[in-house]
A and B are shown apart, each in its own frame.
Chain A
Amino acid sequence: AQTVTQSQPEMSVQEAETVTLSCTYDTSESNYYLFWYKQPPSRQMILVIRQEAYKQQNATENRFSVNFQKAAKSFSLKISDSQLGDTAMYFCAFMRGAGNQFYFGTGTSLTVIP
């Protein structure tokens, strides 16, 4: 079975600063995908970034980047130049390469402080 662990239930960061959200996962698969989703107060689930396990290069989307450590089974999200609109719950998710099902972590609530 696959498990996804987010060990930081809540975090805060000052506006314009950088914050890193942690995620670890457990799998015996070699081919899989990892995702970060953002859920603002509106409750909409928004894809932030995606990483294929076979790619060594860390994915980047504007101010969002990941630190993917495959051997350590770690997938952290770094948000640079934090903005008030980044305040949201962030979910890490795992998907097997040949599968359909997502496995979600319990989420990290991030608050950006003005």
Chain B
Amino acid sequence: DAGVIQSPRHEVTEMGQEVTLRCKPISGHNSLFWYRQTMMRGLELLIYFNNNVPIDDSGMPEDRFSAKMPNASFSTLKIQPSEPRDSAVYFCASSFRFGGRQETQYFGPGTRLLVL
């Protein structure tokens, strides 16, 4: 089975530009998570979805960040406008949740974003 797929793997952009990161979760998984990893702050949860519905976006740093999940097999994380401090590795992860039980999260390969 294919794992979590993220694109692009690397993105270099200039400050002020819009950046869109994409994620395809593992088929059959109904929870999706976006994380950001930096040296200073480690791994931070930005937002997560259950059954395509955003449940907790309290980790989204500011209004410049937005995430959508239009269907069970696709999600986007958008930064507009981008700033140099957004430079980080962005991970998408997915898992299966049934009843009150959440299964293990499986991570994608990450998108390395550099904002100049």
Query: Which residues of A approach B to under 8 Å, CB–CB?
Result: 33, 35, 37, 42-47, 50, 91, 95, 97-102, 104, 106-107
Contacts and interface: CB of A to CB of B under 8 A. Distances in A.
9 closest A-B pairs by CB: A45-B107, A104-B43, A98-B100, A43-B110, A106-B42, A44-B109, A100-B102, A100-B48, A50-B104
B55 A35 contact: no
Contact of A97 (B55, B91, B101, B109): B101
B57 to A, nearest CB: 12
Given A100-B56, A101-B48, A102-B45, A43 B89 contact: yes
Interface of B: 31, 33, 42-43, 45, 48, 50, 55-56, 89, 91, 93, 97, 100-102, 104-107, 109-110, 112
A97 B100 contact: yes
A98 B101 CA distance: 6
Contacts of B102: 33, 95, 98-100
A90 to B, nearest CB: 12
A54 to B, nearest CB: 12
Centre residue among A35, A44, A102, A106 by max chain B CB count within 10 A: A102
B107 A44 contact: yes
A35 B104 contact: yes
B104 A47 contact: yes
B18 to A, nearest CB: 24
A63 B97 CA distance: 29
Contacts of A106: 42
